[in-house]
Homo-oligomer: A and B are copies of this chain.
Amino acid sequence: MGALRLPSLTSIFAVSSARSSLFHRRSNQLHLRKLTSATRVTAKSTTPATTEAAPAESTTQKLPVQEQGITPRSQDFNAWYLDVIAMAELADYGPVRGTMVIRPYGYAIWEAIQDYLNVKFKETGHSNMYFPQFIPYSFIEKEASHVEGFSPELALVTVGGGKELEEKLVVRPTSETIVNHMFTQWIHSHRDLPLMINQWANVTRWEMRTKPFIRTLEFLWQEGHTAHATPEEAEKEAMQMIDVYTKFAYEEAAIPVIPGRKSRVETFAGANRTYTIEAMMGDRKALQAGTSHNLGQNFSRAFSTQFTDENGQRQHVWQTSWAISTRFVGGIIMTHGDDAGLMLPPRLASVQVVIVPIWKKANEKNEVLDAALSIKDILHSAGIKVKLDDSDQRTPGWKFNFWEMKGVPLRIEIGPRDVSSRSVVVSRRDIPGKPGKVFGISMEPSVLVPYVKEKLDEIQLSLLNKAISFRDSNIVDVTSYDELKEAISQGKWARGPWVGSDEDELKIKEETGATIRCFPFEQPQGPKMCLMTGSPAEEVAIFAKSY
* Chain A interface residues toward B at CB < 8 A: 21, 23-24, 27-28, 30-31, 56-58, 62, 92, 94-96, 99-104, 106-108, 110-111, 127-136, 138-139, 151-162, 165-169, 171, 178, 181-182, 185-186, 188-189, 191-192, 197, 201-202, 204, 206-208, 217-218, 220, 393
Contact = CB atoms under 8 A, between A and B. Distances in A.
Contacts of A186: 23, 27, 92
B185 A21 contact: yes
A220 B100 CA distance: 20
Contacts of A191: 30-31, 393
Given A107-B129, A155-B157, 5 more contacts: A57-B167, A95-B136, A134-B155, A156-B160, A158-B158
Contacts of A152: 161-162
A19 to B, nearest CB: 14
A506 B512 CA distance: 71
9 contacts: A24-B188, A58-B136, A95-B139, A96-B169, A101-B131, A101-B182, A156-B158, A162-B206, A191-B393
A298 to B, nearest CB: 19
A197 B96 CA distance: 21
Q: Say what secondary structure dominates the interface of chain A.
A: mixed
A96 B136 contact: yes
Given A158-B156, A188-B27, A181 B95 contact: yes
B218 A134 contact: yes
Nearest to A161: B206
Contact of A132 (B94, B128, B151, B153): B94
A478 to B, nearest CB: 37
Nearest to A158: B158
Contacts of A24: 185, 188
Contact of A185 (B92, B96, B110, B218): B92
B132 A218 contact: yes
A178 B58 contact: no
Given A169-B57, A188-B27, A101 B130 contact: yes
A33 B510 CA distance: 62
